[in-house]
């Protein structure tokens, strides 16, 4: 085992040596897999004005962005939901789910959906970024849009059961990906400002594609195609390059934010240490203490793990309650978190997010379609 490990380390070392003999040391990244989703495609053109379509513009910007990430962030994998002009399913709802499935299967750390805006008012302009969520204003907007435009990209909240599930999910989102999605949205908006774009507010909205992805995610509108000046900019090589460059810089800013926020907690985003780290210094004491034994080991910080949440509740649920936990009666574990829905019930606590995702897609969602992945530590759901 030891020889095999040394051999593996030698292979890694050889692979990082450049032709000039220097050793390449790519900077650590807070993201490993970025999923880029060019909105619409195929027989769904999206907004269509001034001889061009939303689906064509989003694909061009998406491909530029992916190229920039590959070249500027070595080691970061780029996954596209589409690279050609095609739809991913027959219906809009299935198409959006297919995009989320691609992202989830890839084990994405960040999901960026690129769209182009349009409005009846030809003077409407600017860029904006949306995150999964709902405010009273957005709730009203969501209902109006559904009734007036039959918007399949929004979640229909008219059914009370659906609304309850979605709102519980949004609340749980604050303990998993919510803060990271907002951080990415702010990174995008800040970089749009740097290139002189008119920036609209970040909006929470009940978007199907963000609801179905198990990772931090945003949907960004890169301009109004219904505005003749913005349409000309969006169609230009300069405009597409600037927008892609802004999004690329946002990804780099977000990656730095994740590294700073998570610190050493997220082991996968940092290279493995070459040697065992020194133990933490002993706590101060009020009076002399006997010397520690030579074989004493420093206490380890609990490692963050991943579980699949199937239920949340305001009050405790018995772990043998088959009516609530169904097939996972006797198997689910209770966790706690802040907020009204304090009690969370999860299955399959895993060391890696990839393993939790496999359990989620292959098993749990067959019984609990609305289940999702959470991060946990020492019996609590953590951000």
372 in the same domain as 254: no
pLDDT of residue 194 exceeding 90, the answer is: yes
44 in the same domain as 136: yes
Task: Return the pLDDT at 342.
Answer: 82
Owning domain of residue 176: 30-261
Looking at 239, 261, 283, the residue that finishes a domain is 261
Mean pLDDT to the nearest integer, 320-324: 87
**Per the domain annotation, does 294 fall within a domain?**
no
> How many structural domains are present in the chain?
2
**Per the domain annotation, does 70 fall within a domain?**
yes
Q: How confident is the model at residue 278 (pLDDT cuts 50, 70, 90)?
A: very low
Looking at 261, 295, 323, the residue that finishes a domain is 261
- The CATH number of whichever domain residue 209 belongs to comes to 3.40.630.40
The model's pTM is: 0.61
Looking at 197, 226, 261, the residue that finishes a domain is 261
Please check whether residue 34 is in contact with residue 77, taking contact to mean a CB–CB distance below 8 angstroms.
yes
249 in the same domain as 324: no
349 in the same domain as 235: no
197 in the same domain as 55: yes
Per the model's pLDDT, the better-predicted residue between 358 and 193 turns out to be 193
> What is the per-residue pLDDT across 227-256, written as a single tens digit (0 to 9) for each?
999 999 999 999 999 999 999 999 999 999
Task: Return the pLDDT at 262.
Answer: 64
Task: Return the pLDDT at 184.
Answer: 96
**Per the domain annotation, does 15 fall within a domain?**
no
Point out which residues pair with 111 in neighbouring strands. Answer: 35, 217
114 in the same domain as 186: yes
356 in the same domain as 247: no
Task: Return the pLDDT at 92.
Answer: 87
Neighbouring C-beta atoms of residue 45, cutoff 10 Å: 14
Q: Name the nearest CA neighbour of 225 among 95, 65, 55.
A: 55
**Per the domain annotation, does 6 fall within a domain?**
no
Q: How confident is the model at residue 3 (pLDDT cuts 50, 70, 90)?
A: very low
**Per the domain annotation, does 283 fall within a domain?**
no
């Amino acid at each position: 085992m030891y020889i095999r490990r040394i051999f593996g380390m030698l292979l890694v070392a050889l692979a990082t040596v450049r032709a000039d003999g220097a050793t390449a040391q790519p900077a650590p990244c807070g993201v490993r897999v970025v999923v880029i989703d060019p909105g619409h495609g195929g027989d769904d053109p999206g907004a269509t004005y001034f001889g061009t379509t939303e689906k064509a513009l989003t694909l061009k910007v998406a491909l530029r962005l992916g190229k920039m990430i590959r070249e500027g962030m070595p080691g970061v994998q780029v996954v596209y939901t589409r690279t050609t002009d095609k739809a991913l399913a027959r219906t809009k709802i299935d198409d959006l789910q297919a995009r989320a499935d691609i992202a989830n299967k890839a084990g994405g750390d960040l999901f960026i959906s690129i769209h182009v805006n349009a409005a009846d008012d030809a003077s409407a302009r600017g860029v904006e970024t949306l995150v999964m969520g709902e405010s009273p204003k957005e709730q009203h907007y969501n209902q109006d849009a559904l009734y007036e435009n039959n918007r399949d990209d929004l979640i229909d909240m008219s059914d009370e059961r659906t609304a309850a599930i979605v709102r519980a999910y949004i609340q749980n989102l604050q303990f998993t990906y919510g803060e990271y999605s907002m951080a990415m949205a702010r990174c995008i908006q800040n970089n749009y400002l740097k290139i002189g774009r008119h920036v609209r507010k970040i909006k929470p909205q009940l978007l199907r594609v963000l609801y179905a992805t198990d990772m931090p995610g945003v949907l960004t509108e890169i301009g109004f195609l219904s505005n003749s000046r913005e349409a000309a900019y969006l169609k230009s090589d300069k405009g597409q390059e600037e927008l892609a460059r802004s999004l690329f810089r946002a990804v780099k800013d977000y990656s730095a934010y994740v590294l700073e926020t998570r610190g050493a907690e997220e082991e996968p985003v940092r290279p493995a240490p070459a040697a065992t780290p020194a133990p933490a210094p002993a706590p101060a004491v009020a009076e002399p203490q006997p010397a520690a034994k030579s074989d004493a080991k420093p206490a380890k910080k609990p490692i963050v793990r991943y579980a699949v949440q199937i239920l949340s509740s305001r009050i405790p649920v018995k772990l043998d309650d088959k009516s609530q936990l169904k097939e996972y009666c006797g198997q689910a574990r209770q966790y706690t978190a802040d907020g009204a829905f304090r009690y969370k019930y999860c299955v399959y606590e895993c060391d890696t997010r990839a393993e939790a995702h496999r359990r989620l897609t292959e098993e749990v969602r067959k019984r609990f379609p609305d289940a999702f992945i959470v991060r946990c530590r020492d019996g609590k759901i953590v951000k």
